[in-house]
Amino acid sequence: MTDNMPTYRKWAMQQLQRNITIYSQVVLMTPPDVATTARDGDDGWTITEVMGHLRDFEDIFIERAQATATKDMPPLRFPDPDALTQEQNYNAQPLTDLYSQWMEKRHTLLDYFETLTDEQWSRAGAHPNRGPFTINDQLMLAVWHDSLHLEQIVKILTEKHV
C-alpha cells in the first residue's frame, strides 16, 4: 500500500502548486467591495478573512513540517482560527496582498517538502486533535484544507450574503 506513497506525494504537491493558480484566478474574479462584505452565511468569514486564514495557516504548516522533520514527536501548534481572524483584522488588509503573502509562503512550503527524505516524510508530530501526525499526513491535510476554503470562497462569491 505505502509503495505508492511517493506518487501520492507527487500528486498532492502538484495540487498545492496548482492551487496557487486557482486561488489567483478566484481573487481576480472577486470584486473589491465583495471581498470584505459578503460572508459565508450570515456571520461567517469574508473572502478576505478566508485568504488571511490561509496565509497564517501556511506558516503553521511550514512550522509543523520543519518541527516534525527535525524533532522527536514535537507538539504541533493549532491556534484557534476564529481568534486569529479577530486578532489579525484581515478585512483591513487588501485581498491581493494577503494572496501574495500566502503564495510566497506556499512556495516556501513546497520548497521545504522537496528537501525531505523518505524517512522524514514518515516522521510524526503530536497533533492536538489528531494524535500522531506524519509529514505525509500534513501534506494530505494541506491539500484538503485548500479545497475546503476554495469551496468556501466560491460559495461566498456565488451567494453574496452581505
Partner 1 sequence: MTTWTQVRKRNIALIDKLSVRAIGHIMAEITQEEATTYRDSGDGWTVMEVVGHLLDADRVFLSRAKMILAQDHPDLPVFDHEQDVIDGQYNAQDKDAVFAQLAAHRAQFAAWFRELTDEQWERSGTHPERDYPFTLTDALMQVALHDNIHLEQITRILAEKRPSP
Whose Cβ is closer to partner 1: residue 88's or residue 96's?
A: 96
Residue 94 as a binder of partner 1 (CB under 8 A): the answer is no
**Minimum gap (Å) between residue 107 Cβ and partner 1:** 17
Greatest Cα pair distance in the chain: 49
Give the DSSP letter of residue 161: B
For residue 155, state whether it binds partner 1 (rule: CB under 8 A): yes
Amino acid in position 132? P
Of the candidate residues 82, 87, 118, 151, the single one contacting partner 1 (CB under 8 A): 151
For 135, the grid coordinates are 509529514
Binders in 11-40 for partner 1, by CB under 8 A: 11, 14-15, 18-19, 21-22, 24-26, 28-32, 34
Residue of 56, 132, 142, 162 that binds partner 1 (CB under 8 A):
132
Q: CB of residue 34 vs partner 1: minimum separation in angstroms?
A: 8
R_g of the chain, CA atoms, integer Å: 16
Rounded to a whole number of angstroms, the minimum distance from the CB of residue 88 to partner 1 is 25
Angstrom distance (rounded) from CA 19 to CA 25:
10
Q: Quick one: which of 118, 142, 145, 141 has its CA closest to 130? A: 141
Helix (H, G, I), strand (E, B) or coil at 140: helix
- Secondary structure of the chain: what % helix, strand, coil (to 5)? 70, 5, 20
Please list every residue from 53 through 82 that binds partner 1, using CB under 8 A.
none
Q: Are the CB atoms for 99 and 54 separated by under 8 Å?
A: no
Please tell me the count of residues contacting partner 1 according to CB under 8 A: 43
**Binding interface with partner 1 (CB under 8 A):** 1-5, 7-8, 11, 14-15, 18-19, 21-22, 24-26, 28-32, 34, 122, 124, 130, 132, 134, 136-137, 140-141, 143-144, 147-148, 150-151, 154-155, 157-159
